[in-house]
Amino acid sequence: MSFARPDFAGAHPIRPSRRPDRDVTLIMGIVNVTPDSFSDGGLHLDPRSAVAYGRELLAEGAGLLDVGGESTRPGAEPVGVEEELRRVMPVVEGLAGARVSIDTTKLAVAQAAVAAGASLVNDVSAFRGEPALAGFVADAGLDCCLMHMAGEPRTMQADPRYEDVVSEVKAFLEARMAFAVAEGVPEARIWLDPGLGFGKTVGHNLELLRRLDELVALGRPVLVGASRKRFLGVVTGRQDPADRAVATAAANVLAYERGARIFRVHDVAPTRDALAVAAATFA
C-alpha cells in the first residue's frame, strides 16, 4: 500500500491561488526571544541559544522560523523599538540561509530584519499598529500575514464579545486585506490568521476552528496558531503549556481538514507527524 506524502514547503513559498493547495503544508516554528511569552518566555534570550533552537526546529520539519521579540500574551506590556531590535537582530542574522519571518508590528524592526534576511512580516495588528508597514511590505516584495486581534495584548482578554465570531473575524480580515492591497501588496502575497486566543473566549476559539472553512473561502492561505494555548488547556485540563503538544496537534489536524495550510507551532515534530497522517487520508 502506498500513499501520497504531503509536501511540507521549505524554501519554496506557498503557491498563490484562490484556494490553498491541499498538497502544500507549511509548518512555522516559533522562536521567541522574549522574557515573558506565555509558554517559552526566557528560554532563548541568549542569541546563540535561540539560533541553535531555530536550527533544531528546521531539522524537525519547520519550513519557516518566526522570530519575535515582543510578547503578545494576554496582559503583555509593549516593548520599545530599540529593545525589540536588540532581541531579534542577532537571531535573524544568525539564521542566515533559513526562511525567516519577523513577528512584529513595528516598521523599523521589520526593515532591519528584512535587511538581515527575513522574507515575511507577521503582523498581529494587521497593519493597524503602523499602517506604513504595508507600504514597506509592498515595496520590498514581501509576503505578510495579517491577524485578527480584538484590542491589544494588554486588554484583548477583557470580556471579549461577538455576535458571530466567525463572521466578524472574516469581515475584519477582508477589510485588512483590502487595505493591504490598496497600499500595493499583491493579494497573492497575503496570508490570513484568525488569531486564536487573541481577544477570544474558549468558545470563540472552538467556533473558529469548527467553521474555519468559512475563512479559507476568502481564497488566501490561512495560518492557524493554536500552539499550547490556554483554550487547549481548558479543554484537556493540562495546566502546563508544555504539556499541550498533543492537543495542539489535534487542533492542527482539524484545521488542516478544514483547509488551513500554515501552522505556527512550538512543537514541530508532533505537528509534522500528525499532519502527515491527516494528509495521507486525502490520497
Could you list the active site residues? 229, 264
Closest C-alpha to 246, from 260, 276, 226: 226
Do residues 266 and 31 touch, judged by C-beta distance below 8 A?
A: no
Do residues 102 and 120 touch, judged by C-beta distance below 8 A?
A: yes
104, HSE (Cβ side, Cα atoms, 13 Å):
35
Print the SS3 string covering 69-114: CCCCCCCCCCCCHHHHHHHHHHHHHHCCCCCEEEECCCHHHHHHHH
The CA distance from 191 to 212, in Å, is: 14
Cβ neighbors of 190 (< 8 A, separation 6 or more) are 143, 144, 145, 146, 177, 180, 181, 220
Whether the CA torsion 43, 49, 51, 56 is positive or negative: it is negative
